[in-house]
Structure formats: structure tokens, C-alpha cells
Chains A and B, each alone.
Chain A
Amino acid sequence: MTSEVIDRLRLVPDPELGLNIVELGMVEQIEELNGHLRVHLVLTSPGCPLSGNIEEAIHSVLRSIPGVETVMVEFRQDIPWHPGRIDPEAREKLMGQQSG
């Protein structure tokens, strides 16, 4: 189920950078037990004003997976996000990104 979960999480974008939360390396860990999902997330910026929207979006994209009963999102404040977490391909995209 994990690969399907990751594919679904790719539907949650960061509107400023134009990358999704998987490409940005925000997904730290996914736990799955008998249809109960727990997603550990690292925010790119602590106190990100979109965190509430991102949490709701994750619920929305994951709850519709057959077999998923509950979804929990945990914001990991003990793990700092850094640019090194960005997927290498996505990093190239970011460096070549044109004016927004």
C-alpha cells in the first residue's frame, strides 16, 4: 500500500515552489497498520501557514484509498527540514524554474 500512498501524496503541492510534498522531502515516514495510516511530515518552514491546509489535503487524498480507515498526520518538529531533502530531479527543476 505504501507506494499507492506515496503516489497519492504527490497530489499535494507546495503552491510557492511548484513541487509536491514528496518531491520536497517533507514525508519523513509512513506507518500502516490494519488500515490505519500515520504520516510523519517535516514542514519546509516551521510554522508554515499552509500546514492546516496540507494536513486536510493529506486526509482527503488518503481516505479514498480502498482499505484505509483512518489517517493521522504528525508534524515532526524534532526533525528540521533542509534543502538536501529535496529529490535530486526536483532540485534541478527548482533551479531551472522560470519567473513566477
Chain B
Amino acid sequence: MNGKVQARPALTLSFFAAGFLALAGGVLTVALDPAILTGPYYQPKLLALAHWLVLGWLGSVFLGAAYQLGPVIAESPLRFPLLGWFHLALHLTGLPCMVYGFAAGNYHWILAGGVLVTSGCIAFVITQLATAQASWRGDPVGCALVIGWFWLAVTLGLGLFMTGNRLAGLESAPSQWLRIHAILGTTGFFLTVFNAVSLRLVPMFAVTTRQSNARTWTSLVQTQAGLLLVAPASLLHFSPLLWLSGLLILSGQLLFLWEILAQLARRHRQLDGPLNWFAGSFLWLPLAMTGLLLLMNRTGLNLTMLEPEAGAVLVFTVYLLGCLTTAVLAMSFKIIPFLVWQAAYGRHLGRSRVPPLSSLVHERLFLLASTGSTLGIIILVGALSEQSGFLIRTAAIMLGVGIGCAMTNFILSGRHLRCPQLQPLNFPTA
């Protein structure tokens, strides 16, 4: 192996495009019908929206990014790239079927969609495992990624298991399995991968280094120990175990946050707008994990006076939108321009003068995207605490403006693919 990695920008960009369209669709749905987000979580429209956003938005972006970051982390070219396109096709076919099934309360559609999405994820895991096998590094990042795939498999398996049970008339909802599926699906896969990717990207973009191996490992071990306890604790209804599980996840994430802040404190680069926004996403993390701890123990969220069932929507909004969506939106201002730049200019490097990567980010659009999205999410959290339909709609509109500006930026950056801005390279004279 010579250290060279062949990137697959088109595959990742296609997943990102699907993700952004899903996010825009989800936000539009909330703006049109804010009542979806009020009341308890077990209602068909909300289940449909949750799967649309978690799988359609976050799932598409995380899985798409893995096709770019997996080879980078494994330091090896992506294996079986055609399987990646097959995965995209299955994902895009299965997701609408599944979401339609949830909205219509039709478990046959849910099962059909779930099987397609799961088949796609099997293709994904095959490509990732084959890629990682070539040069897998047993560091916290490499381990966390593999563990993330395990949680992905567990979540999808649980989803299919529950759907099969419903079709066979063996289970009434909502069950403990549903809680386990929701917690492991959102925290098991997404949180573990979020940790891994952040631990890789922060040193890369902020020009810094890992500050403490012991802290990073302990964070991973504590978080995973907490996640492993979720299922037995929930099935046994054993309160001390539920508290232990939640506390382990929370303390693991606090250690992760400490490591990221320590890395940022020792950076060798002034943070630009997208990196500052990305750093801001970490502020939501302790809030989300504390909410999860209270939710797992069915403790009323005293500050908001919400019942646990309605509180679940609030906690998952803080986590999925506040933390993860903010991080993904911010990082997409790094990753998408980079992929476009690489496709447009990578082969011209050393042959012509090429524009800097920063020229693919429009300052005004970025400002509108970051401000609109951040305010939208903050207002949405307040709106859910107050159960205010008017504020939910206002928040969705602001979030929609932010997302629209981000998408406009990415579409505009595509002009570099059509008309590359190349200038002659002047070689220095001897």
C-alpha cells in the first residue's frame, strides 16, 4: 500500500443530495402541520416523520459520508464501489415505502421498505468491512466506526423484528422493544459514528492532535457500556440499571466533549465560520444526553413540565436537530465544497492555478444558513417545551430558510464543475 486513497465524490454527493431533500421535505411537513410534533410520540404521522428524518436525512448523510471517510480512516481505497450505488438505490426505494407504511399504519409497506433499507445497509457494511480489512487501525476512531455498524445492524434487526411481530399479531405497541429501537437507533449508531467522525475531523480541520488517548478510550468504553445496558435494563424494568446505563452514556459523552474542547484549545488554526458552527453543535450534546438519561428513567422533565411521552419529542429534537443536524449542516460546508473542488480541480493541481476551497462557500449564504438553522432549532426547542403550534411553525420556517440557503450554496458551487476557474501556473525561473 502506498498511502494513496481513491475518493468517490459522486457517490457521497448523491447521498448528501438525498439527505438534504429529505430534510427539506421533513421541515416543510412540520411547517404545514405543526401538530405532528405536539403530544405523545406514538402516533402514525410522527413515526413516519421520525423515520423520514432519521433515515432519510441523518442516515443518508452519515452513510454517504462513510463512503468518503471510511477509506480515509482505513487509509485504503473503497472496495466494491458498485455496491455503494446499489445501496443508494435500495435506500431511496425502501425509505419512501417504509415512511408511507408508517403514515398509513400499513405494516406490510413498513416491512417491505425495511427489508429494502436493511439490504442496502448490508451492502454498505460489506463495502466498509472490506475497505477496513485492508488496513484497519485499532484506535478509538477505527473501533468506534466498527461498533457503529454493529449498532446499525441491531437497530435495523429490531425494527424488522417488531414489524414482523405486529404482522403476526404477537405484539401491541408501544412496547419496550420500541424504546430500545429508538434509543439504540439514534444513539447507538449515530452517536458512536458522530464521536468517531468528530475525533477524526477536528484534528484534520483545526490542525491539532489528540490530547489524551486514555480519555478518548474511556469515553468510548463508557458510552458503549451504557448502550449495551439499554436493552437488558429496559426489558427488566430495573431502575438502577437504567440509571447506570444513562449515566454511563452521559459521562462517556462528557469525556468526549472534554477531549474535543482540549483539541480545539491546542489548535494551530483560526476557526473559520463552518468550523465555529460545528464546534457549537457540541454544546447541545450534554443537554441531549441529560435529557436522554431522564427520559430513560421516565422522569418528568421538571424544567418543562412535560410528561415523559411528550418529553421524548423534545429530547430527541435537542439531540437529533440541535446536536447532530447542526454538526452535519456545519460540516457539509466543509465536505461538499471539498468534494466539488476535488472533482473540478483535483486533476489540475500542479498544472494550472486553481481557486482556493474557500471560494466555493458564499459568505452571505453561509451566514443565512447558520443563523436561520440555529435560531430555528432554538425556537423549536422552546416551542416544544411550550407545546406551541405557532412557534413550531415559525421555527420550521426559519429552519427551512437556513436549509434552503445551504442547498443554494451547494448548487451554486456546482458551477465550478461546469466552468472551472483555471489560470496558467507560472513556474519560478531558476
Contacts and interface: CB of A to CB of B under 8 A. Distances in A.
A8 B71 contact: no
A45 B3 contact: no
B358 A47 contact: no
Contacts of A95: 268-270
B76 A8 contact: no
B349 A57 contact: yes
Contacts of B338: 15-16
Interface of B: 2-7, 68, 71-76, 203-205, 207-209, 268-270, 272-274, 334, 338, 341-342, 345-347, 349-351, 354, 356-358, 361, 363, 425, 427-428, 430
A34 interface: no
B268 A49 contact: no
B5 A52 contact: yes
Nearest to B425: A11
Interface in A36-75: 43-61, 64, 74-75
Contact of A50 (B269, B342, B425, B428): B342
Contacts of B342: 49-50, 53
Interface of A: 4, 7-8, 10-13, 15-18, 43-61, 64, 74-75, 77, 82-83, 86, 91, 94-100
B361 A83 contact: no
A11 B427 CA distance: 8
A15 B72 contact: no
Task: Among B76, B208, B428, find the residue whose CB has the most chain A CB atoms closer than 10 A.
Answer: B428
A37 B300 CA distance: 69
A49 B5 contact: yes
Contacts, number: 124
Contact of B269 (A49, A56, A97): A97
28 contacts: A4-B428, A8-B427, A10-B428, A11-B427, A13-B349, A15-B357, A43-B3, A44-B204, A45-B72, A47-B74, A48-B72, A49-B68, A49-B72, A50-B7, A51-B5, A53-B346, A57-B349, A60-B350, A82-B209, A83-B208, A83-B209, A86-B207, A94-B268, A95-B269, A97-B272, A99-B272, A99-B273, A100-B357
A69 to B, nearest CB: 17
Contacts of B356: 13, 15, 18, 100
Taking each of A11, A74, A97, which has the highest tally of chain B beta carbons within 10 Å of its own beta carbon?
A: A11
A95 B208 CA distance: 12
Given A15-B354, A16-B205, A16-B338, 15 more contacts: A7-B428, A15-B356, A15-B357, A16-B334, A45-B204, A46-B3, A47-B3, A47-B73, A50-B349, A53-B349, A59-B350, A75-B4, A77-B75, A95-B270, A97-B272
